[in-house]
Amino acid sequence: MRRDTLARNLKLKEAIAIGIGGMIGGGIFSVIGLVVGLTGSYVFASLFFCTVAAIFTGYNYSLLARKYPSSGASYTYITQSFGKILGGVAGWILWFGYVAASALYAVTFGLYTSYFLDVDWKTLGLLLIVLFTTINIRGVKETGFVENIIVAGKVLILLIFIIFGLSYIGIVKFLNFNFSYPNGVSSVFDLTRNIIMGSALIFVAYEGFELIAASAEEIENPEKNIGIAIHVSIIIVSLIYIFTAMVSVMVVDPTLFSKSEGPLIIAAKKFLGVFGEILMGVGSVLATASALNASLYGASRIMYAISRDGLAPSILNNIHSKRKTPHFSILFTSLASAILVVIGFLEDVASLASLFFMMIFMAVNLSVINLQKRGIIKNNLIISIIPIIFIGITIAYLLSYLMNLLRMMILLGALVVSISINFHYGRKQKMRTKKL
C-alpha cells in the first residue's frame, strides 16, 4: 500500500546518534595517521579548522532544514535554490556518494572482523549490509535504537582511550607538551600549508551530520531538534577527535604513528597493552558498523525524496503499509552497495565519494546565499562565506590529491549518468504534463 508520509518515530537522542554514527566511521581510526604525517603534533590545528567549518555548515543545514523539512536534505535545498535539474544531479551524486561510503564501511568492517573470525572479509561485509538492510526496513525506531547502542559503544571505547591515555601521559606533561614540526617541515609557512592540507584530508570524517537533515520527515519537532542534533553531534565528535589525536601523538612518535594502517591500535597498546589493541580493534568494528547503518538510512531517504519528485522510478517512493519505511529505496541502496563490495575499485570510488560530499556542501552553502539574496531566508552572509572558503580549498586539494585516469573516468561517468537520468525523467514529467 502506498503512503505519502513517513512516521515521526525519531527522538532527539536518535538523531544525535545518527549524526555521531555517520561522522565517527573509519576516519579517526585510519585517516588520522595520514594527517599526523602532514602536521605532526600540530594535528589539533587541522581538526580545529574542520570543527569551525563543520559548525558553520551545520548551522546552514539547520537553517535550511527548518525552511524545507524534507528527507531529501541537500538535494531539496539545492533544488529550491538552483532548480530541479541541478538539484536532481546533486541528489543522484549525493546518493552515489553514500552508496560508495556504505560499501567502504562494509569492506572495512569485514577486514577488521576477519582478524577475530576466520571468515572471508567480503562475506562479512555483505552480511553486515544484509543485517542493517533488515533493520532499516523494520522501522526507523529500530534503526535509531540500534544506532544508539553501537554509537554508545564506540564513544565509550574512545573515551576509555582518552582517559587512560591522559592518565599515562599525566596532566602536567599534557599541558606542557613541546610541539614539534613534522619531518620535512622547517617553516611556519610550510606548517600552515600542511595544516590546511590535513584539514582537507580529514574533513570527510565530519560529513555525517548531513544525515540528520535527512531525518527531517521522521524526527519529532524537526524545526527545533534538527539544529540541536547537528550542533551537539559536531561538538561531541570534534572533542573526541581532538583529544584522541592529542593523546596519540603524545604517547607515540608522530612519524611511527603516521606510517601505521591502524594508528590508534599502536597508541592504545602503548598504555593498555594487548587489551588496548583488542579494544581499538572492537572500536573500529563498531565505528564502521554504525557508519554503515547511518549511511544506508540517509541514502535511502534521499532516494525516496528524489523518486517522490519524479526523478527516479516511482516504486522507490513506496512506503511499507506497516513499517512506514521506504523499503524499496532501502533495498535499492543496499543492493548498489553490495555490488560495489563485490566488484571492487572501492578505494577509487570511495575517494571520489569524499569529493562528491565536498561539492554538495559547497552547493548547500551557496544555496543559502542565493535564497538569502532572494529574500526567502534570513542569514548572516559571513556564516556562509567562511565554510565556502574552507570547502573550496578542500575541493582543490582533493582534486590534486585524488585524480588519476580511473578516478577521472568514474567521476565523468557518474556525472553523465546522473545528468542522463534527470534528463530522461524530466522529459517523462513534461510529457505527462502535456497530456493533462
- Residue 5 placed within a domain: no
Q: 202 and 36 in contact (C-beta within 8 Å)? A: no
Residue closest to 157 by CA, chosen among 262, 281, 243, 252: 281
pLDDT for residue 176 is more than 60: yes
pLDDT of res. 345: 63
Write the secondary structure of 165-230 as one string of H (helix), E (strand) and C (coil). Answer: HHHHHCHHHHHCCCCCCCCCCCCHHHHHHHHHHHHHHHHHHHHHHHHHHCCCCCECCHHHHHHHHH
Residue 4 lies in a domain: no
Across the range 56-65, mean pLDDT stands at: 92
Structural domain of 424: 12-435
pLDDT attached to residue 436: 58
When divided into structural domains, the chain yields a total of: 1
Residue 333: inside a domain: yes
Is residue 96 a part of any domain in this protein? yes
Chain-centre distance for alpha carbon 314:
27
In a domain, 103, yes or no: yes
Q: The pTM is what?
A: 0.86
* Cα–Cα distance for residue pair 414/224, rounded to 1 Å: 36
311 occurs within a structural domain:
yes
Asked, for residue 2, whether it belongs to a domain, the answer is: no
Per-residue confidence (pLDDT) for residue 206, from 0 to 100: 83
Q: Would residue 347 count as lying in a domain?
A: yes
DSSP letters spanning 335-383 = HHHHHHHHH--HHHHHHHHHHHHHHHHHHHHHHHHHHHHTTSS---HHH
pLDDT-derived band at 261, boundaries 50, 70, 90:
low
Task: Annotate 234-260 with b (16+ C-beta within 10 A) or e (fewer).
Answer: bebbbebbbbbbbbbbbbbebeebbee
- Residue 27 is predicted with a pLDDT of 65
- CATH value at residue 306: 1.20.1740.10
What mean pLDDT comes out for the span 26-37? 74
